A = this chain, B = another copy of it.
Amino acid sequence: MTSIATPAPETDRRARGEAALAEITGASGQAVVDSLRGIAPELADWILDFSYGDVFSRPGLDYCTRELATVAALTAMGNAQPQLKVHIGGALNVGCKPEAIVDVILQMAVYAGFPSALNGVAAAREVFSARGIGPSDSAKG
């Protein structure tokens, strides 16, 4: 495993992480990172270097699939609404279709119950509405 013999330099992790954060979350992720600088700067570092530089930058999965998996998990957990909204927006940013995001949220009714799905849809409605994405873009009833 070369990752152990010759680990990537820190500077590469930071650059990869900043690029991934910008592409996925746009301004909202950077605002979260900036807000941490006063009280918990290490958490800001870890988000950039570890979450985005190490994990999200791995080549095995495209960003849309990664964001749909994140939306699924946060909807199911149901205790992280601010982050769920960031990643619903992130899914849109990386090209996921609105109806695919809603589909993943609805599927959580099966695995985590209807309240999780309902609160996930409420988050999606808020994010979609702020971007001018209407019902005809996300629902095909």
Residues of B within 8 A of A131 (CB): none
Task: Check A42 against B69 for contact (C-beta < 8 Å).
Answer: no
Q: How many copies does the complex hold?
A: 6
Q: Which residues of chain A (6-48) have a CB below 8 Å from chain B? A: 7-11, 14, 32, 36-43, 45-47
Shortest Cβ gap from A72 to chain B (Å):
4
A104–B6 Cα distance when bound, in Å, is: 25
* Interface residues contributed by chain A, number (CB under 8 Å): 79
- Contact A78:B79 (CB < 8 A) given known A11-B7, A114-B47: yes
Task: Check A104 against B69 for contact (C-beta < 8 Å).
Answer: yes
**A115 is an interface residue with CB less than 8 A from chain B:** yes
